[in-house]
Structure 1
Amino acid sequence: MTVYWPDYVESNCRQNYSYFVSSEFLMTGYHTLALITIPLSIFTFFTIIRVTPNKMKNMKIPMLIALAWSTNLDLMLTVHLTPFMFFPSAAGVPMGLLGSVMTDAKWLAYLGQVSIIMIGVCFVMLLENRHSQITTIRFKIKRKRTRLVYFAVNYFLAFFLCLAFYLEDSNQLELRQFVLKRIPCPAIEFYDKNAIVLLKGGELLPFLSISSGLMIIVVQSLFFSIHTVYHLNYVKNAHVSESTKALQRKFLSYVAMQVTIPWTALVTPILYSLYADKNDYYDQTFNNISMLLMASHGLMSTACTLFIIKPYREFVKSIFKGNKSYNPKELWATSVQNRGSIGSVTTG
């Protein structure tokens, strides 16, 4: 690698670095995940479109949108950005395709941050979809146009909240000095031409933007999930049978797993970065592994979609068994005739 930045100091401190510290290890991991998750995402798109029964049609569009944003994040992490991060500092190197065509790495970081926030918006969309199917709930979004406006506002906030920080100019040589005080001997990639430092630490505007975005997602998720759980367990209605409620509770638990399992792949590296920041802890091996865990989000997300919901699971099994006559309309673990606006759902 050609050393670009003038703050490079020749040192023997990197002599004992292992392969797991290197960008070669990280790039190999990213590209291996891409070879698995991208074809799997395409197959999952096909499965949702081809296999989703009519009685689950209200979930079809939200699941496709969530999968689209999940695939976008996969591409960002494993192909377009392939970030090499230097926790405990907010610094990194974009080593992917976009890094070779975009001169300002700061905007690559912006695209990556927005992609992560959009996953949270998609989780809210899935929970709101379950919330809207409970007939005992009066305070809910009933009109399609209102729902479109509601999520358009969410999308706008996802793109807007962190924009102000990225519009500010920064002196990279000055910011790099703050990083070198915390990490006296960073990996050699820190001196790459595209290396960028976003924060020196303690800035108010980034803290407010990130906190606001997180609160918006958390508050909406808690409202839809708690309100749904309350009505399914404590609100009585003569027109809604207990078997219908049991089925709705079961499906809500599957949606919760679809949300929670992939989300751990995103939250765990973030929590690690916060720990590293608080304790000034630098371990490039852990940094690389945490980013690969984040990049595995797509693998977990598609696996949950394919194997949690029974029609999809049975469709995958039929492919392995060579059953060409598989018909998802004939496969129902539980069939509930709906009254009012209650949807019938099949799960396993």
Structure 2
Amino acid sequence: MSIYWSDYVESNCRQNYSYIASSAFLKNAYHFTALFTIPLAIFTFYVIVRVTPRKMKNMKIPLLIAHAWTTNLDLMITVNVTPVIFFPSAAGLPSGLLGSIGFNAKWLAYFGQVSIIMNGVCFVILLENRHAQITTIKFKIQRKRTRLIYFGINYFLAFFLMLTFYMEESDQLELRQIVLKRIPCPTIDFYDKNAIVLLKGGELLPFLSISGGLSIIVIQSLFFALHTIYHLNVVKNAHISEATKALQRKFLSYVAMQVMIPWTALVCPILYSLYADSNNYYNQALNNISMLLMACHGLMSTLCTLFIMKPYRDFVKSVIMGSEEPDTKRLWATSVVRSQASMLGSVA
């Protein structure tokens, strides 16, 4: 790597860094992860389209949208951007495909952030889908046009909350001097031509934008989730059988597990970055490991989709075992019939 930035200082401190702290390790790990996640993501698209049973037809489009954004985030991390992040600072190096062909590093960071926010919006989409299927709920989105406008606003906010900040010009040498006060001896990758510093620390606009976006997603998620849980467990209606409610509870639990389990792969690195920022702690090896964990988000999300939902799990099992494909169209109908039979037997 050729030294680009004029703030480079020759030092022996970099000799203490291990291979795990290098960008070469992280790029190889990213690409190795992509060897598994990309084929699995393609297979999952096929499974959702091909195997989704009639009882889950209302979930098919939201599941496809959520999986598309999950796959996009996975590709952004493992192939297109492959970010090397220098916590505790808001600085990084895009070392992936898009950076190598000349895309501006700042806009790569922007699209990466939008991809993460959109995964949160997809969580809202899945919860709203479950909310809309509960017949006892009167206050819900019923018209398709209204739903398109509603989520169009969410998409707009996801793309434009941070846009103003990214359009501002910044003096990179000035920002780098601030970073070097916190990290006196960063790895050699910090002096790469494409390395960029986004924040000097304490900026109000990014804080308000991120806090506002997070609040919007959390508030919507809590409303749809809690309102749905309340109507499934508290509200009584003679026209809705317990078997139907049990099925709706099962779908809601699927959505919760499908989203919350992969989100741990995003939340843990974020929590680590907050710890590093508050303690001025720099450990590039841990930085790389935390980003590698984030890159596992796509793999965890795909596996949750394939193995949490029974129709998909049975289909995958039939593919692995080479057995006859299960009749997924009748699967949920059979489950409901059995539940109703059990209820009648208990009453008798």
Moved more, 240-249 or 107-116: 240-249
**Contact 2:110 2:166 survives alignment (8 Å):** yes
**Contact 2:243 2:336 survives alignment (8 Å):** no
Q: Is 2:329 aligned against 1:335?
A: no
Structure-2 separation of matches of 1:236 and 1:189: 61
Give the aligned partner of residue 142 of structure 2: 142
Give the aligned partner of residue 162 of structure 2: 162
Q: What SS is found at the alignment partner of 1:134? A: coil
Matches within 5 A, 1:178-193: 178-193=178-193
**Superimposed CA distance per residue, residues 45-71 of structure 1 (whole angstroms, 9 cap, x where no aligned partner):** 000101011221100000000000000
**Superimposed CA distance per residue, residues 180-236 of structure 1 (whole angstroms, 9 cap, x where no aligned partner):** 000000011000000000000000011011111111110100000011111111111
Q: What SS is found at the alignment partner of 2:12? A: coil
RMSD of equivalent CA atoms: 1.2
Give the aligned partner of residue 343 of structure 1: none
Structure-2 separation of matches of 1:11 and 1:5: 15
Structure 2 portions without partners, runs of 5+: 339-348
Aligned residues: 337
Structure-2 separation of matches of 1:74 and 1:336: 40
Report the alpha carbon displacement of residue 248 of structure 1 after superposing the two structures with TM.
1.4
Q: What SS is found at the alignment partner of 2:335? A: coil
- Decide whether aligned partners of structure 1 residues 221 and 325 sit closer, same or farther in structure 2, where only a CA change above 3 A counts: closer
Matches within 5 A, 1:196-345: 196-332=196-332, 334-335=335-336
Moved more, 325-334 or 150-159: 325-334
**Contact 1:85 1:287 survives alignment (8 Å):** yes
**Contact 2:31 2:78 survives alignment (8 Å):** yes
Report the alpha carbon displacement of residue 101 of structure 1 after superposing the two structures with TM.
2.2
Report the alpha carbon displacement of residue 282 of structure 1 after superposing the two structures with TM.
0.6
Give the aligned partner of residue 77 of structure 1: 77
Structure-1 separation of matches of 2:183 and 2:172: 16
Report the alpha carbon displacement of residue 17 of structure 1 after superposing the two structures with TM.
0.9
**Contact 1:4 1:192 survives alignment (8 Å):** yes
Report the alpha carbon displacement of residue 324 of structure 1 after superposing the two structures with TM.
4.0
Moved more, 149-158 or 318-327: 318-327
In structure 1, what residue type is equivalent to 2:229?
V
Structure-2 separation of matches of 1:68 and 1:242: 34
In structure 2, what residue type is equivalent to 1:257?
M
Report the alpha carbon displacement of residue 246 of structure 1 after superposing the two structures with TM.
2.0
In structure 2, what residue type is equivalent to 1:230?
Y
Report the alpha carbon displacement of residue 326 of structure 1 after superposing the two structures with TM.
3.5
TM-score by length of 2: 0.95
Q: What SS is found at the alignment partner of 2:92? A: strand
Q: Is 2:113 aligned against 1:113?
A: yes
**Contact 1:244 1:336 survives alignment (8 Å):** no
Give the aligned partner of residue 131 of structure 1: 131
Structure with greater helix percent: 2
Report the alpha carbon displacement of residue 24 of structure 1 after superposing the two structures with TM.
1.2
Runs of 4+ with deviation above 6 angstroms: none
Give the aligned partner of residue 46 of structure 1: 46
**Contact 2:80 2:99 survives alignment (8 Å):** yes
Structure-1 separation of matches of 2:52 and 2:311: 7
In structure 1, what residue type is equivalent to 2:124?
V
Q: What SS is found at the alignment partner of 1:93? A: strand
Structure-1 separation of matches of 2:330 and 2:209: 49
Structure 1 portions without partners, runs of 5+: 338-348
TM-score by length of 1: 0.95
Give the aligned partner of residue 94 of structure 1: 94
**Contact 1:30 1:78 survives alignment (8 Å):** yes
**Contact 1:262 1:297 survives alignment (8 Å):** yes
**Contact 1:41 1:71 survives alignment (8 Å):** yes
In structure 1, what residue type is equivalent to 2:106?
K
**Contact 2:315 2:325 survives alignment (8 Å):** no
